[in-house]
Amino acid sequence: MGCRDPSGLLSPYNFSRRVVGSDDVSLDIAYCGICYADVIWTRNEGGTSKYPLVPGRHEIVGIVKEVGSNVVERFKVGDPVGVGAYVNSCRECKYCNDEDLEVECSKGAVPTFDGIDADGTVTKGGYSTYIVVHQRYCYKIPENYPLASAAPLLCAGITVYTPMMRQNMNQPGKCLGVIGLGGLGHLAVKFGKALGLKVTVFSTSISKKEEALNLLGADNFVISSGQQQMMALSKSFDFLINTASGDIPFDLYLSLLKTAGVLALVGFPKEVKFSPASLSFGIIISTKS
């Protein structure tokens, strides 16, 4: 399915993928997640969309149907695999090799759709029957793991899991607060519980309470607009992870952290605004005149 103009409307679209190279993997796509990035690019909200455009940016899972001659160890035909946000990079610069940060490739990593691939063609995403990628950007999925469940882990899952691991949010018994319970938040809760943390969900919507406590297993649920309830939790948390896209009162949330606590931001608010006093003195300074 592709779109041909900024209306963002999708309709059947036929095209050909590039030939499978010696280091490539070709996979039949079983599932592809939907992300707001797909909406942004199909509507050309960033001003860079190249039409016709096939969305499906980074939650692609399927079964390997062909491998290149150099793909002899990592993958074989029939393997369940996933493809994320990138399908290629220079593989030579310091970020690609020394630091294993190919998304920061000095020459520019090639995104799964709307990028320029090694052969000069425009990449097309996962709303399609199959895809061809360099083996480095293809990931093995454990046998018997449901592919439909694996797809969201390539975006929402890795978005919360990475900072949790990097910031040591994996210490059983410690307290984690998850701000927002959308696509990212519910996975942060599940990871937190699996890692043995005491998890509290912060939300502006009481309708999320049953899901948080009974479905996902969170230990506590807090309506974040309740000032008294929030203030009563001062210095209670080792970790906070903000998955909300809306603006939040950062000063208030910073006051909930214990000394040397960590707040990880993976949501997309319009701005991040807080007083240095929240960090230096652990107090909230009113900004009202």
Residue 138 lies inside a defined structural domain of this protein: yes
Residue 194 and residue 165 share a domain: yes
Residue 1 lies inside a defined structural domain of this protein: no
Taking each helix axis from N to C end, the angle separating 183-194 and 156-166, rounded to the nearest 10 degrees, works out to: 50
Expressed as residue numbers, the domain containing 264 is 157-280
Residue 124 and residue 62 share a domain: yes
Helix, strand, or coil (residue 250):
helix
- For residues 208 and 288, give the distance between their C-alpha atoms in angstroms, rounded to a whole number: 31
Residue 197 lies inside a defined structural domain of this protein: yes
Q: What is the mean pLDDT of each run of 10 residues along the chain (289 residues)?
A: 94 93 95 90 93 92 96 92 92 87 90 90 94 93 93 92 93 96 94 97 94 96 88 92 88 89 89 80 51
Helix, strand, or coil (residue 277):
helix
Q: Is residue 182 within 8 Å of 193, Cβ to Cβ?
A: no
- For residues 85 and 220, give the distance between their C-alpha atoms in angstroms, rounded to a whole number: 34
CA torsion sign for 213, 218, 224, 230 is positive
The per-residue pLDDT for 287 is 44
Q: Which residues contact residue 252 at a Cβ distance below 8 angstroms, ignoring those fewer than 6 apart?
A: 230, 231, 284
Q: Which amino acid is located at 7 in the chain?
A: S
Residue 223 and residue 249 share a domain: yes
Residue 86 and residue 188 share a domain: no
Residue 167 and residue 77 share a domain: no
- For residues 71 and 86, give the distance between their C-alpha atoms in angstroms, rounded to a whole number: 18
**CATH code of the domain containing 251:** 3.40.50.720
The per-residue pLDDT for 245 is 85
Residue 202 lies inside a defined structural domain of this protein: yes
Residue 86 and residue 62 share a domain: yes
Into how many domains does the chain fold?
2
The per-residue pLDDT for 284 is 55
The per-residue pLDDT for 252 is 87
Report the candidate in 187, 199, 183, 190 with the shortest Cα–Cα distance to residue 244: 183
Residue 144 and residue 56 share a domain: yes
The per-residue pLDDT for 289 is 32
The per-residue pLDDT for 72 is 82
Residue 4 lies inside a defined structural domain of this protein: no
Helix, strand, or coil (residue 136):
helix
Q: Is residue 278 within 8 Å of 257, Cβ to Cβ?
A: no
- For residues 243 and 179, give the distance between their C-alpha atoms in angstroms, rounded to a whole number: 6
Residue 236 and residue 119 share a domain: no
